[in-house]
Amino acid sequence: MLNVICRHNCKDCYAMRVCAVHAIKDQQGSIYVETDECIGCTCCKTACIDFGYKALEDKTAEWLKGAA
């Protein structure tokens, strides 16, 4: 399942760069996580908070992995 994270708030998505399993996707002008591929390491969240516009600040590992 693709969960929308943000509308590509940063020119380069830092979260996408650090995801070792390439679960962060750039599609149709938005950034998504493919929940079936995510292993819940939260590296994307750290990168987004430290370098980006913090769209992942309130997201949990469980959300990234597809929990409601």
**Smallest distance from ligand SF4 to CB 32, Å:** 9
With beta carbons less than 8 A apart as the criterion, state whether 21 and 43 touch.
no
| Pair of tokens at residue 40 | 């819940």
The residue among 5 and 58 lying less far from ligand SF4, judged by its C-beta, is: 5
Q: Least distance to ligand SF4 from the beta carbon of 65, Å?
A: 7
Instruction: Output the CA–CA distances (angstroms, integers) from residue 40 to 15, 26, 29, 33, 60, in the order listed.
Output: 13, 19, 24, 11, 8
Of 2 and 10, CB closest to ligand SF4 = 10
Query: Closest CB to ligand SF4 among 2 and 6?
Result: 6
